[in-house]
């Protein structure tokens, strides 16, 4: 993993098929750019994201993980993302207790919001990069 460290943070994202994954497709179609360290896994609904996946990704070397779904109230599966919000909010609290603030993010991105998708993931990438660069100096 060491030789890879200089390439920038690695982010694994979980994106629901009906909203965020669609937005990421549209971002591609519109040739928007974002860092290559961001890689997306498609899940049917954000509620499919088992917190264990997030923990696994972090422990296997991801610098950050995001879970993204439809805006609350717009879930294709009616209420799935409300459950996602509870679970991921709790997991974020757990990460906070482990001083891993900022390594897990929860985004709502609708299928129409390609720009928002790119903005969210790029901001996360930059934050993690700054944090790591600051850590290196110390």
Partner 1 sequence: MRAGIFICHCGHNIKHTVDVRRVSEYFRKIPGVIVSTDYAFVCSEPGQDIIVESIKRYNLDRVVIASCTPSLHGDLFKDLLKKSGVNPFLLRRVSIREHCSWVGDDVELNTEKAKRLILAGLYSASHYIPLEEKMVEVEKSALVIGGGVSGLSAALFLARMGIKVYLVEKEAELGGHVRFLGNIWPSGRKGRDIVGEMIEELKGLTNVEIFTEAEVTGFEGFFGNYGVTIRQSDRERKVIAGGVVVASGFVPFDPAIKPELNYGKDQRIVTTFDLERGIEPPDLPDRPRVAILHCVGSRDEAIGKSYCSRVCCVNALKVAETIKGRYPDSYVESFYMDVRAHPRGGEEYFEAVQERGVLFTRGNVGEIVPSESGVILRGEDTLFGEVYEREFDLVILSIGMASSPGNRTLAQLLKITLDKDGFFLEAHIKLRPYDTAVKGIFIAGSCSGPKDTEESINHGRASALKLFGMLNLGYAFVDPFISWVDPKRCSGCRQCEEACIAKAIKFDEAKRVVKVEEAACMGCGLCNATCPSSAITLKGYMDSFIGDEISGLLEVV
Partner 2 sequence: MQGKRIDREKLEGALKGFLKEPGQLIFGFGRKGGLVTHRMYRDDLHGFSMFNPYFSINGATLFRRVFSKDVKVLLMLRPCEIRSIVELIKLNQIEPEGITTLSIDCPGTVSLGAERDGLPDDPFEAKDYMVEHRDGMRWACTVCRERRGVVGDLGIRMAGDKSLWAFPYTEKGKAFLATIEVPEEEFKGGFLLGEDKKDAEPFATDMGTFSSELSRCILCKNCRDMCPICYCIDCLFNGDEYLPKGDALLNKIIRKGTDDLPEGRELFHMVRLYHVSQTCVGCGACEEACPQKIPLTKYFKGISERLQGMFSYMSGRDVKEIIPYLTFKEDELKDAED
Residues that bind partner 1 (CB under 8 A): 1, 3-4, 7, 10, 12, 17-19, 22, 24-36, 39-45, 47-53, 56-57, 60-62, 73-74, 76-80, 83, 87, 110-113
DSSP letter string, 35-74: -TTEEEEEESSGGG--HHHHHHHHHTT-SEEEEEEPPTT-
> Which residues in the 51-70 window bind partner 2 by CB under 8 A?
51-52, 55-56, 59, 66
Q: Quick one: what does residue 126 bind among partner 1, partner 2, none, with the CB cut-off 5 to 8 Å set by partner type?
A: none
Residue 119 contact among partner 1, partner 2, none, beta carbon within 5 to 8 Å by kind:
none
Closest residue by Cα to residue 100 from 127, 66, 64 = 64
Give the nearest distance from C-beta 5 to partner 1 in angstroms.
Answer: 11
Backbone angles phi, psi at 50, to 5 degrees: -75, 130
| Structural contact between residues 64 and 95, judged by C-beta atoms closer than 8 angstroms | no
Q: In angstroms, what is the minimal distance from the CB of 31 to partner 2?
A: 25
The CA-based angle 101-113-92, given to 5 degrees, is 15
**Contacting positions for partner 2 (CB under 8 A):** 51-52, 55-56, 59, 66, 72-73, 79, 82-83, 85-94, 96-100, 105-108, 120, 124
């Amino acid at each position: 993993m060491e030789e890879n460290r200089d390439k920038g943070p690695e982010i694994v994202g979980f994106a629901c098929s009906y909203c965020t994954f669609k937005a990421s497709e549209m971002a591609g179609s519109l040739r928007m750019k974002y860092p290559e360290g961001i890689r997306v896994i498609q899940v049917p609904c954000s509620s499919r994201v088992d917190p264990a996946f997030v923990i696994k990704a972090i422990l296997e070397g991801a610098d950050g993980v995001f879970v993204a779904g439809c805006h609350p109230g717009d879930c294709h599966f009616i209420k799935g993302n409300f459950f996602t919000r509870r679970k991921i909010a709790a997991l974020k609290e757990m990460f906070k207790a482990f001083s891993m603030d900022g390594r897990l993010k929860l985004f709502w991105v609708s299928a129409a919001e390609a720009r928002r998708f790119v903005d969210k993931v790029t901001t996360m990438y930059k934050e993690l990069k700054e944090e790591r660069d600051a850590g290196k100096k110390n």
